[in-house]
Structure 1
C-alpha cells in the first residue's frame, strides 16, 4: 500500500467497489475518476467512456459533488474541460450561485483563451512561469508540506 506523509497509508480507488471500501477508513484517499494504466478497462478517454463512468461510478461522482460544494479546491494543471466535472460544477453553480466555495487552478503558462474560459467558470487562476515553480508554490501555500 502506498504511503503519504509521515507514513500515512494512501488508499487508491479506481473502481466504485474500491472507493466504497476505502472511504470507510480514515486513511488518505486518492480517487482516480479517469482510471489507471494498471487497469486499462477503467480508463476514460472517449465520450462513451465518460458516460459509462458516470453510470458506473456514481458514488465517486457524488463524493466529488459533495467535496466541491463543501469547500474550496485547488486544481493543478487541470483544464476543467472534463464533461463529467463540468456537469457537476454547473449543477453546483446553479444551486449555490455566489455562495459556492472558491476554486483555484494552477497553470504552467499564461494563455489568454484559457484564462477567459477559467474566469467564465468562476475559477481563480494562479499562473506560473513554468512547472518547475510548482514545488516552491505548493511549499509557500502549505509550509508544512514535504517536498514533491
Structure 2
C-alpha cells in the first residue's frame, strides 16, 4: 500500500505523500475498504499509526456502526523491565489498554503475546484451522457396480459437494473422470443459491493437464500437481476410484492411491466412502486396519463400508468433517 523496497522513490513517507494519497491511488483505498468489509484481516507488526488505514476504518465504522467485521492483530504485552520504574510500567500498561479499546471500536481484537516468537506457533495453528476448511473430493468412475449406477453416483457426488459448501466448507476438485462435473455442479448450485460473491472462497478447480503426450512426463507433472493441490487441504474424501486400463480392464485408479499417500503423509483427515468400491474401498480397509490412528472413523465404519443410501453417506461425511474442523 505504501511502497516496495524495489521502487523506493514511490514510497509513501512524508505528510505530503499521505495528503496526496487519495488523489494518486484512489482505487487502492476503495479495494482495501471492500476487503475490510468482506474479509477478516490479521495484522502482524502493524502499529496502527497509519492515517490512511485509520481514515478507512473510520469510514467503515460510520457506515456499518456495530455491524463491522471482526479483525485481529498481534501485540506484545507490556511487561516490567528492570531498567523501568513502576510509574513508567503503569503508564505503558495504561497506554496499551487505551490502544486496545480504540482498536475494538474498529472491530479489531487484540491478541496479546509475551514474546514475538509465540506468533509463529499461533500462525501454524491458524494454518491448520484454515486448511481444515478445505475438502478435496478425490475419485473417478469408469464403471459402476454393487448397487451403484452412473445416475446414482453422479447424484451422490452432486449432493456431497453441495452440502459441504452449504455447511461452510471449501470444495476442491481435480475434475475426476465420471464424477468431476457433478462435484462442480453441486458446489456451484449452492454458491448461486446463496449468491456468494467470491467463488474462489467456496470452490477450487484444478483440472489435470492432459495435453502431455509422453506418458512418463505426464505422470511426473501430475505427481507435482497433486502435491501442489493437496498441500493446503485438511480433509480428503475418497469416492469410487476406478479406471479402465490399456486392455480395457477395470482397475483401481492409481491417481487416487497417490492422492491417498500424499494425504496420509501430511496427516490430513481421510474419509473413504468404501461402499462406492474402487480405490475408496481399498483405502477404507487400509485405514480400518490402523483404526487407532484413524479413530474418527470408528463410529462410522459400517455406514462407510456398507451403506448405499446417498443421504446417510453425505450426512456421515459431514459429521466427520465437522468434528475434524473443530479439532483442527
Relative to the length of structure 1, the TM-score reads 0.69
Secondary structure at the residue paired with 1:131?
coil
Tell me, yes or no, if structure 1 residue 89 matches structure 2 residue 74.
no
In the TM superposition, what is the alpha-carbon distance from 1:136 to its structure 2 partner?
Answer: 0.5
**Equivalent residue for 1:72?**
40
CA RMSD across the alignment: 1.9
Answering whether residue 104 of structure 2 is matched by residue 136 of structure 1, we say no
Alignment coverage as a number of residue pairs: 114
TM-score by length of 2: 0.33
- What displacement does 1:138 show? 0.4
* CA distance in structure 1 between the aligned counterparts of 2:51 and 2:37, rounded to whole angstroms: 18
- Mapped to 1, the partners of 2:51 and 2:19 lie a distance apart of 9
Distance 1:102 1:71 in 2: 9
Structure label with greater radius of gyration:
2
Find out whether 1:43 has 2:28 as its counterpart.
Answer: no
The yes-or-no answer on 1:107 pairing with 2:75 is: yes
Match of 2:29 in 1: 61
| Structure 2 residue ranges without an equivalent (≥5) | 79-91, 132-230, 233-328
Query: Is 1:77–1:108's contact at 8 Å kept on the other side of the alignment?
Result: no
1:118 aligns with 2:86: no
Deviates more, 1:109-118 or 1:84-93: 109-118
Structure 1 residue ranges (4+ consecutive) displaced by more than 4 angstroms after TM superposition: none
Partners of 1:77 and 1:56 in 2: CA distance = 26
Structure 2 Cα separation of the partners of residues 118 and 104 of structure 1: 11
- Once the two structures are superposed, what CA deviation does each residue of 1:64-120 show, in whole Å capped at 9, x if it has no partner? 100111122111121111101000000100100110001111123336313322322
Helix, strand or coil for the counterpart of 1:142?
Answer: helix
Query: Mind listing any 5+ residue stretches in structure 1 that lack a counterpart?
Result: 1-32
Q: Per residue, is there more helix in 1 or in 2?
A: 2
Give the Cα–Cα distance (whole angstroms) in 1 for the partners of residues 49 and 96 of structure 2.
10
